[in-house]
Structure 1
Amino acid sequence: MNKKKHYDLPIIIKNDFLLYGKIHLILLFAIILSANSIVIVVYKTRMLIAEQEQLRIEQKKKNDEWRNLIIEKNTLSPPLIN
């Protein structure tokens, strides 16, 4: 009779990774970690740029309002007579 050997493939793959693929797993983990870091930094940068733009718009509105108040004050103040 011919007996066929049965191999447990998932265990063989796991053992190969642990024995020979540690460097590959470490590099894969480093790549995933750096990719996630890039995504987070880009997101935070975009949020800061949007906030900066909102602050610039608000500053422009405040400056316009201040100029209008100065003009209104000069218009409503009585003229100086010497």
Structure 2
Amino acid sequence: MKIQRYDLIQIIKNDFILYGKIHLILLILIILSASLVIITVYETRLLITQEEELILQKKKKNNEWRNLIIEKNSLSNHSTQKK
């Protein structure tokens, strides 16, 4: 009596191809969806960081502009007082 050996990998592969197509498609879609969520979150964080940097630049420019207006007014007042 000879012991019959089965190729387990081949049996699993055949079963998966015959009966697991929907599961395989769903698995691929889940992985794709998860990847897209990760990419979207990463890009959103980059955009938020850029927005914060732009807000800081805007504040610096506003402060510089105010200082220039004050300096202009101060110089114009100074020149009018000498006359």
Tell me the TM-score range normalised by the shorter chain: over 0.9
Counterpart AA for 1:15: N
Tell me the TM-score normalised to structure 1 length. Answer: 0.93
Q: Which residue of 2 aligns with 1:33?
A: 32
Quick one: distance in 2 between partners of 1:30 and 1:9? 27
* Deviation >3 Å, runs of 4+: none
Sequence identity percentage: 63
Which SS does the other structure have where 2:80 is aligned? coil
Higher mean Cα deviation, 70-79 or 39-48?
70-79
Q: How does 1:1-82 map to 2 (within 5 A)?
A: 2-77=1-76, 78-79=79-80
Indicate the RMSD between aligned Cα atoms, in angstroms: 1.0
Tell me the TM-score normalised to structure 2 length. Answer: 0.92
Quick one: distance in 2 between partners of 1:79 and 1:68? 20
Quick one: distance in 2 between partners of 1:44 and 1:22? 33
Quick one: distance in 1 between partners of 2:38 and 2:6? 42
Report the alpha carbon displacement of residue 79 of structure 1 after superposing the two structures with TM: 2.6
Point out where structure 2 has 5 or more consecutive residues left out of the alignment: none
Point out where structure 1 has 5 or more consecutive residues left out of the alignment: none
Counterpart AA for 1:69: L
